[in-house]
Chains A and B, each alone.
Chain A
Amino acid sequence: MSVRGLRKNYGALVAVDDVTFDVDFGECFAILGPNGAGKTTTVEIIEGYRPRDAGEVNVLGVDPAQANRAWRAQIGIVLQSVRDLGEVNVREAVAHFASYYPAPADIDLTIAAVGLQEKSGDRIGKLSGGQRRRLDVALGVIGSPRLLFLDEPTTGFDPQARREFWALLQSIQQAGTTIVLTTHYLDEAEVLADRVAVIAAGRVIAIDTPAQLGTGTSDVAEVSWRESGTWHHQSTTTPGAFVVDLQRRIGGEIPDLTVRRSTLEDRYLALIDQASPEQAS
């Protein structure tokens, strides 16, 4: 999948401005950004839901603006906050959507894969929020897609449900499906994504692996220790060398030494601050 110079205006507002990135086969690609940054608009253009004003998009060899049924059959979409299908049960819904696809996955295996086998005969309107999103994933993957989109899939989940949901997405990726997900949870991107794009104010401000993202923009680690009863803190890009020097100077074990690498969150916030200083004030 490739996106080049993507642009979308809503009246005078430029929602997406010159967005460019690629997603490789089998990858999990996360799009991070503050609310209103243009994440959902970008993804909806790629999904073929919205027209664009400029730029080129190629997804599985097709321009999504020309989406046909054959292309749709290879794409799975897990939407944000849908409340449909309340009156039918889980199995009825999954079986129904399976009938749209030329090569659907097994209905009961899919229900089991998302952990809803116990709820198979339950009305969808009676599912909890987490179970509901699992069903949405089941409907997203029932057509055996090559590419799965998820839009802020774990919003409103409790920590336990999020971990289970992440495991589910990891198993889907291991089965060979490329995943594109938008999120505003950094830990989610860190756990799931092979690469992360940060979008702020409609522009891509960084693309990298979660470990490397934004390492050029802030110090990599903070070293803390105690010396003569007072705490010292030092930010450094070379924590190893710093600690060796420190040990030599102190001559022995360094009291209360911690080396904290900057978290994805530190680096993400630094990136967002740099991109929109006027928003930070």
Chain B
Amino acid sequence: MSIDTPSLPNSWAIGRKRVGLELRQFFRDRESAVFNFALPVLLLIVFGSVFGGQDLGNTDVSFAQYFVAGMIASGILYTSFQNLAISIPIEREDGTLKRLRGTPMPKSSYFIGKVGTVVVAYVAQIIVLIAVGRIFYDLQIPSTATAWFTFAWLSVLGLISCTLLGIAYSVVPRQGKGASAVVAPVVLVLQFISGVFFIFSDLPTWMQNLASVFPLKWLTQGMRSVFLPESAAALEVSGSFQLPLVALILTAWCVAGAIGAVVFFRWTPRGSN
């Protein structure tokens, strides 16, 4: 990378090593594995079993199917935003970040490690969610290339925006210990108002408007276009899935997240220096 540091391992090589290390920590830490990974699957099984087979309106879409699409969108929020906004404050406090800053690891490798971990955890999570949805709730696996393409760009934009937002939001918890207390409620409330636990069009208008500010509402709407039949568009407030608008708003959140991450992220605990 530069002439005076010829033999230092490059930041991608170190970043790959960090993905491996972080994944081990992600899945071996019970709190992280349950909270960020198993919880959405658990919620899917519980809610799906309670509200199961009722069809919605005049469509042949069951609540369980509607809910699976919402949980796949939520999976993005869990594995990126919630995961990072909780784990980074802990790392800031327990010495992880201080140790890393004292080594020749490039700072970019740390973020490569985070992003890689998020991507792997997300892919593993949607495989489990889709499998559970398919086996128990008759979820349709998308059959068209268009649907898969939509799924791909939704995942990419969702992961980028929510990862950056998680990095930015990681300054909010004052201590590592109580981090989940100021992160998990945000995720939970967003799920309630964004059409994951309830049918979005059934929610009060003010709640719909509030949810429309945040990315999760648009991610769930997009995921419904992927996993539900076209007839389900009738369930949307506007009568369509509004994919161009979804792309636009998620892109805006990517930009906002990038600015927030650059402005707010810090390596050291508050009050030091």
Contacts and interface: CB of A to CB of B under 8 A. Distances in A.
Interface of A: 47-51, 68-70, 72-73, 75, 77, 79, 81-88, 92, 96-97, 99-103, 139, 143
Interface size grouping (class) on chain B: 20 to 34
B5 A96 contact: no
Given A69-B8, A70-B8, A96-B17, A83 B95 contact: yes
Most chain B CB neighbours (cut-off 10 Å) among A68, A97, A100: A100
A73 B50 CA distance: 57
Contacts of A97: 103
26 contacts: A68-B5, A69-B5, A69-B8, A69-B106, A70-B8, A70-B104, A72-B103, A72-B104, A79-B95, A79-B98, A79-B102, A84-B95, A84-B99, A87-B25, A87-B29, A88-B25, A96-B20, A96-B21, A100-B14, A100-B103, A100-B105, A101-B8, A102-B7, A102-B8, A102-B9, A143-B104
Contacts of A102: 7-9, 104
A100 B24 contact: no
Interface of A is mostly: loop
Contacts of B20: 96
B60 interface: no
B13 interface: yes
A76 B104 CA distance: 10
B91 A84 contact: yes
A103 B6 CA distance: 12
B94 interface: yes
A178 B25 CA distance: 33
A165 to B, nearest CB: 19
Contacts of A85: 25, 96
A73 B99 contact: no
Interface in B1-52: 4-5, 7-9, 13-14, 17-18, 20-21, 24-25, 28-29
B238 interface: no
B174 interface: no
Contacts of B13: 99
A139 B94 contact: no
A73 B104 contact: yes
Most chain A CB neighbours (cut-off 10 Å) among B13, B14, B98, B106: B98
A177 to B, nearest CB: 16
A87 B106 CA distance: 23
A99 B106 contact: no
B270 interface: no
Given A88-B24, A92-B21, A99-B13, A77 B102 contact: yes
A79 B101 CA distance: 11
A211 to B, nearest CB: 33
Given A84-B99, A143-B104, A50 B273 contact: yes
Contacts of B105: 100
